[in-house]
Amino acid sequence: MAFGDKAATLEAQGTHVVKLNLGEPDFGAPPDVLTALKELATSNTSLAYTSALGLPELRAAIANFYKTHHQIDIDPKRVVVTAGASAALLMLSAAFVDEGDNVIMGDPSYPCNRQFIKSFGGNVQLVPTQAESHFQLNTALLEEHWKEGTRGLMLATPSNPTGTSVPADELAAMCEFARSRGAWRIIDEIYLNLHHGSADAQPVSALSFDDEALVINSFSKYFGMTGWRLGWCIVPERAVDVIERMAQNYYICPSTLAQKAAVQCFTPNSLDVCESRRAMLIARKKLVLSGLDKCGLTVPVQPDGAFYVYIDISFTGMSAMTFCERLLQEAHVALTPGNDFGDFQGDQFVRLSFASAESELTEGLTRLQRFMASL
């Protein structure tokens, strides 16, 4: 966000900045969703509060999405629609974290997760990960770092900032390891359907083997609806009443307008659009990896999901912050320093998001190549 502000300042001065720093798809909501939004906004349809858990028809549509795309039967009563995935993280942290609880996360990982845990008195234990484990936790790392007082495991697959996934069998083993020790499991699957496999290779949700995992997802990435602030979580039946009371008190309900329009995310037309965009992101990944190779920049692990690459810049002799500062000021390209995502080797990596249009990616890579040649 800080580099986004600096980029905005440069743009206000008339400079074109190629912004490859934020994880925000450029394609927006599917057309069916936009059509529904227009009709709702210009009609006399009541937009009163919904249930704190969300519109019943939207919860049912989400449950059906798990059945058709992940072959999992989910009772719609376990689906909680939230004001963005952040609200889901907030409520699950409030519900499951007690003062002094130890919670394990991988380093690097999404930085806001740490703040949710700390907000409710939890201790965040960042476990260093490396390219050998695809910058993800695994069972061996859990066994090595598990402590007395560890009460939770939080991970994302695919991950921000690396775009790498945990293999299904490894994820199942980690969930079982934590469950057997009485620890809860929050699995962030926001990028799950932005996998880089073939169209018929459906990704595996943690709910396939851990019915009591606390799974989080969002309309922001796969459906391209970042500013709509709409997400969801799947929780065990015993947790639904608790989460409902929290939602009632924290924010009453998610946006009624956004929810009503979002039902159209699950039409055949909308899902076809989302799949075509996923294919487009895979093509962009190939463009970016080829361009980075020409720049002499190394990506230790190629992403297999999401829209990020995690680039090793250690050989330049610059810190990640310095690299990003100079790249922005000298070449007018915005990236994100790895320091944002953890402590271990964060200073040696930068994150590039290929969620921007292909024309912007091409221009950004051209500028980056010139910058690298000038060093």
**pLDDT tens digits along 37-90:** 999 999 877 899 999 999 999 999 999 999 999 999 999 999 999 999 999 999
Residue 133: pLDDT band by 50, 70, 90 thresholds?
Answer: very high
Cis status of the peptide bond prior to 158, with omega within 30 of 0: yes
Cα–Cα distance for residue pair 249/239, rounded to 1 Å: 16
Please write the tens of the pLDDT for every residue from 184-209. 999 999 999 999 998 778 899 999 99
Q: What percent of the chain has pLDDT over 90?
A: 93
Check residue 267 and give its pLDDT: 97
Sheet with 308-312: list strands edge to edge. 308-312, 349-353, 336-337
Torsion (CA) 314, 317, 320, 326 in degrees, nearest 10: -140
The model's pTM is 0.94
Check residue 313 and give its pLDDT: 97
Domains in the chain, start-ordered, CATH in brackets?
2-23+270-374 (3.90.1150.10), 31-265 (3.40.640.10)
Check residue 201 and give its pLDDT: 80
For the chain, give the mean pLDDT. 96
Check residue 317 and give its pLDDT: 96
Q: What residues have CB less than 8 Å from 334, skipping those under 6 apart?
A: 3, 4, 6, 7, 17, 18, 19, 20, 21, 324, 327, 328
Check residue 22 and give its pLDDT: 86
DSSP code per residue over 70-109: H-----GGGEEEESHHHHHHHHHHHHH--TT-EEEEEES-
Q: Which two tokens stand for residue 343?
A: 């402590």
Phi then psi for residue 151, to 5 deg, are: -120, -5
Are β-strands 349-353 and 336-337 bridged in parallel, bridged antiparallel, or unpaired?
antiparallel
